[in-house]
Structure 1
Amino acid sequence: MVKYEIGTCYGCRKCMYCGYDLNTEVCKCDKTIKPKLSNRTKVVPHSFSRNFELNMLLCKKTFIQERNTLYLYNSNFKKRFIFTFCSTCNSQFQRISNKTKAITKEKPTNSNDESIVSSVIIDVDKIVSSQDMCSISSENESVDQHDEISFTLIVKKVDGKQLPGKWLTFDASTFKKFVTQIQKYIETMIGEEIDQAEYSLAFKSAKSNGGGLELSELKDFEKFLIEYKKLFKMKKEVVVIASMNRKIVKKKKRKQVEDEILESDEEENNLKKKKVNSIPKVSGLTPHQKVIGKLVSELREQWHCSQDNVPCYVASGIHLKLTAKLLAMWAESIMDGTATIEIAPTHPDFAVQHATKNNVHSSATLMASQMSQMYPIQPIQYISPQYCMVREPLAPVSNFSVTSQLPIPSIEEFLKKIDKDEGDNGDFMQFIDVFNEQNISVKHIKDLDENDFQILGVKTIGWRKTIKAAAKRYE
């Protein structure tokens, strides 16, 4: 039993101070105080005080008695008492009226066909009430037979945004079936499995304002069914709102996860390659190592071979790929003064020591013979070939140029020789016509700059360097 308190609505158990529905919620308001104009709140701005009278219209008395039975107020209808209505219940109460009619019946009193007219008052309210009860029971039977209900399910996220609604129709014979079906559809809409504790349910009419009534237990569900029947008869749509208590994180599809894993692996492999191929930082290098590194870079640029796409030393009859070891050795020789950017060291690894010695030997012999002819009476001026290697090959033996004694070939012979040295691919003979048109001879090549080579069509840096290096032999 629930003792009725004057601060609540007799018709719907609504708190007349905070507006809470006491069927589903509990408030801390003092409901023993009668609502007045002085103590009303903005939430419930209107309240209506009513008296239960013994001589009250039967239809209104019935209305109050039904609410007493519904909410178990245990009110005493044998004496007068005061109660309170909210705006909605008061309007409903005001519209109730007795439907009574005086029906006159004639009853024959004697055999002389004389009749005495007597008035019989028939209480139509009781008839209507009984008819209403019959119709309600028939409706209940209809609902019991057809337990399917239709409504719109809306999922509201924590930030207040709503997912698109979904129209549902399913079995609602029990509260357990109802919440199970609801949870299944919520999981489908948000794309992940959840517990019932992670959301709360409420229901309302589609066109009504406010958050609706809570739908969390069996009593709420019974109220929901009653309201659903009313709205269904009025052809109004019912909305069930599922408010999430935490953020929704949609699970990624399997294909999306696999793609992300592959992408991550690819990035990791690229990072490893970059680490392997990366040049070490020069912050910890000594000054000597820094100079060596700079010289190696210059050697790579000077001796880049377009044929192999790597640095190569190209000389007469020699085409040697310059490895990192050879480049470092060459740079060390430059630091020692035994080589230059254009002239390779005489180290055996470069396969040029023997050829260089032969060139020096033959040059020395030629010089000796010339000097003997110039000074026949002074044979002491003759220098034996074996003594010509006292100096390093890079230092000039005399004031005479070694390569100046070589005959200067024609431009065609010059380009043919370079082609032969470079693998006989015809890379250099393709420029013969342009060189002839511009009247370029071998002795002019040393003076050609980048723009001149562009005009001649020699756009590859390696080819330019090869042509210039070959022309230096005839300077």
Structure 2
Amino acid sequence: MSLNENEVFEVQIYTRKYQIGTCFTCQKCLYCGKDLSFVNCHCNKNEKPAKNNRTAKVRGYRGLCYDANNSQPFLKEFMNKSNLKFGYEVNLETSFYCSLCTACNSKISRENNKFEKEIKKEKNGTKSDIFSEESGTLIVVNPVTELQLRISIKNGKEVLPSILVNWSFDDIKYIDFSTKVEQLVSEHIGLTFNSEYFLAYKGNSEVGAGTLLDNEITFEEFLKDFQRYISNKKKVMIIVTMKDKKKNKKKREYKDDNLENTASEETEEEIPKPKSVKTKKKGSATNRIPKESKLDEKEKMIGEIMMQLKDKYVCNLHNHKHCFVKDGRHLFLSNVSFSMWAQDIFKNNTDFETPPNHAIFSMLHSVKPTSCNSSNLNSNENSSLPILNIIQNYISEAPSINEFLEELDRKYGANKFTCYLQKFEEEEIRVNQLFRLSDAEYNFIGISKIGIRQTLRDESKKFV
């Protein structure tokens, strides 16, 4: 037997009194999950549903305290229809407690959210002329004439408290806004121009640096975002970040110092100048090697003592590094160690055989070599001559720098090494000092090729 779509069938729904164990709007049993509109079940529906008395078919429910005076229109209509449909004969003018299944509860929540959004749109409205490209329609709204802002000024590490402003404009433009900000900043930190800081904006509750505000285009976007913030009851913050002047100042000072140094070097031999008393800033380092002519007597003497100490404590066991040997243990010596030792010798606090009483000279930092040559272990015990005698011995044993370079030219190629003779003579560098020169010192002399440097170091070791 086929059914005709035009035929209407009537279905009778049994009326009954409302029970707390059923859904008020669909008559679903909240214990077994059956639809009680057409069938009945044997559950105790007068008992309030709970986790312990429900089956797995009913995962959850919601208790509703209905009050007609505080309910949305949809909920009122939905409750009235259910009351008439199932014949509850409940007085909905008074508040009462009922139960809802999850499906009915979700339906009521969705309708309530739609109703609240429509009310919010009616309250907020629109406040500017905005053309919608998607719909192709023009929405007529009021232009912005008043700006309520919080302005924060950041001057280096110092952050001033936020400033509340309320500015009114007849026809708001970027140049007028920029002038207002410039006047405000000048009032708080002194005379300041708009080229000396950055402007950015963001919501008061947002994190991050914000959006840059530096021209007409970004200002138009700012006005649109301002309307959006205000419509959502949010406050807008303008961030003024001062530019760092120290970097530019350091660059200018560095250039001026370089110009002064080059000018003084050119006129040093022609016009003698008195020593200038300038305090060096912390962290400022020069890559220049000081000339011997610029050192005072004390510095020259300490330098000679350091050279003597370095020549005395060369260690053949550790690739010609410097070690102080005691009881078969080797203590590595750095440039700092030699400088401290030389200063103590100059002050007559110690001698060439005894290191200063300082933590860096503690033998706790020493190491014991695995293989040791007795002659190498006692190499630092055979020299007690004065400084001048030992320097003369070195000069007599090692060739002159001119002879040394000419020999290298004959061995490796003409004019490969003698081209640097003038520089070596100007800096008063001896042959037995070549292997100790650093890469920075070789660069200063003008020797940039790695092979030339290594050849000079290897050949000069023969005369140490």
Length-normalised TM-score, structure 1? 0.22
Find the structure with the greater CA-based Rg: 1
